[in-house]
Copies of this chain bind each other. A is one copy, B any other.
Amino acid sequence: MTAKVIKFRSPVYIFSSAAVGTDKEKNGPLGEYFDITSPDAKFGCDTFEKGESEMLRVAVNAALKKASLHEKELELFLAGDLMNQCTASTFALLDYGIPFAGLYGACSTMAEALALGSILIDSSHFSLIGTAVSSNFCTAERQFRVPLEYGSRKPPTAQWTVTGAGAVILSNKPRDLRGTDINKKEANSVAVVEALIGRMVDLGITDAANMGAAMAPAAADTILRYFRETGRTPDEFDIIATGDLGEEGVKLCRDLLAGEGLDLGSRHKDCGVLIYGEGNSNKNGERMSGGSGCACSAVVLAGYFARLFANQKIKRLLFVGTGAMMSPQSVMQGLSIPGIAHAVTIEAM
């Protein structure tokens, strides 16, 4: 028995969500959907690493505030990031004193957290779970490629790691039932109703500057499995969103799906393409194939998609987080870069 679509007995409500970024994200086409942005990628800290933790904490606090929740009401936190040994999440969440389970799914971590968190709530052992992820361009460059100070140039297939953090609070109850709705516009209930945990797929990509190509086969695998197993058709969704394939990866993913007879059409959006806009900001070389990083899909979900749901512009979303499983060592030792993609179905209730 391999990957299966899990249908929850009860909807797992998105109690609240928050998206945090920097001015670069604010100046993109989705800028207005961020809850908080800062001109400072260090968020007032003395290192980018500490700043990433601070950013994640700011996102969690914003999500808690929107939901009028105290942190101690959360029974569990599922979080992860791209930094060495998930330290951005660790130090962000340390002071909350909440049970914590660290996750690592590379850029798919938000989808992994939503999938696992929703199943945990559906188990009835939990009623309120926090999820959050972060990424920072500067910490990711040092972690995975070369420190910024080296001034290396990137090929057009490379992607720009989003500096941001997204937080989503999951609950077994819709928020308006608690009488704590502080923002009518976002009070429409939205819930995770299905989850599909992905498997790793490796087509032999070894270029750490072409993550989109590494992740596209996994995205196609998960999307195909979802539609084959459920018997649903893409037109039942308003948006089918991949995490951070970028322009390169999107083309490959569409080709792979077309080869299997599946056409997602214009309802396929890629968070990596959406976040900095298509083509237009490419001129200064600071966008390349699109955005990436744990925060990429997380902020687009927690900010933009959340607003589309709140404004009743969309009613059903297939959110497919994509991750490239690699480390500097694995790349230097000549190993390929397997991709993974986890999916959750999110619906207006």
Q: Give the B-binding residues of A (Cβ under 8 A).
A: 1-4, 6, 47, 49-50, 72-76, 80, 82-87, 90-91, 93-94, 97-106, 112, 115-116, 119-120, 122-125, 127-128, 197-200, 202, 325-330, 333, 335, 338, 340, 342
The quantity of this chain's copies bound in the complex is: 2
Q: Are B200 and A325 in contact (CB under 8 A)?
A: no
Smallest CB separation, A149 vs chain B (Å): 15
Q: Are B200 and A94 in contact (CB under 8 A)?
A: yes
Contacts of A93 in B (CB 8 A): 200
Q: Are B2 and A99 in contact (CB under 8 A)?
A: yes
Contacts of A74 in B (CB 8 A): 1
Known contacts A2-B97, A47-B333, A91-B330, then 20 further A-B pairs from the complex at CB < 8 Å, ordered by chain A residue: A1-B72, A1-B75, A2-B72, A3-B75, A86-B325, A87-B329, A90-B338, A91-B335, A94-B338, A97-B200, A100-B199, A101-B116, A101-B342, A102-B103, A102-B104, A102-B112, A102-B325, A120-B120, A122-B123, A122-B125
Smallest CB separation, A322 vs chain B (Å): 14
Contacts of A97 in B (CB 8 A): 2, 199-200
Q: Are B84 and A328 in contact (CB under 8 A)?
A: yes
Determine which residue in A90, A103, A115, A125 has the highest number of CB atoms from chain B within 10 A of its CB, and name it: A90
With contact pairs A1-B128, A199-B100 given, residues A329 and B84 touching in the complex (Cβ less than 8 Å): yes
With contact pairs A116-B101, A119-B125, A122-B125 given, residues A85 and B326 touching in the complex (Cβ less than 8 Å): yes
Q: Which of B49, B119, B197 contacts A100 (CB 8 A)?
A: B197
Q: Are B112 and A101 in contact (CB under 8 A)?
A: yes
CB closest residue in chain B, given A85: B327
Q: Which of B76, B80, B83, B120 contacts A327 (CB 8 A)?
A: B83
Q: Are B199 and A99 in contact (CB under 8 A)?
A: yes
A284 to B330, CA, bound (A): 33
Smallest CB separation, A224 vs chain B (Å): 14
A2 to B127, CA, bound (A): 12
Contacts of A120 in B (CB 8 A): 116, 119-120, 123
Q: List 6 A-B contacts (CB under 8 A).
A: A2-B72, A2-B98, A50-B333, A50-B335, A91-B338, A119-B123
Contacts of A73 in B (CB 8 A): 1
CB closest residue in chain B, given A328: B84
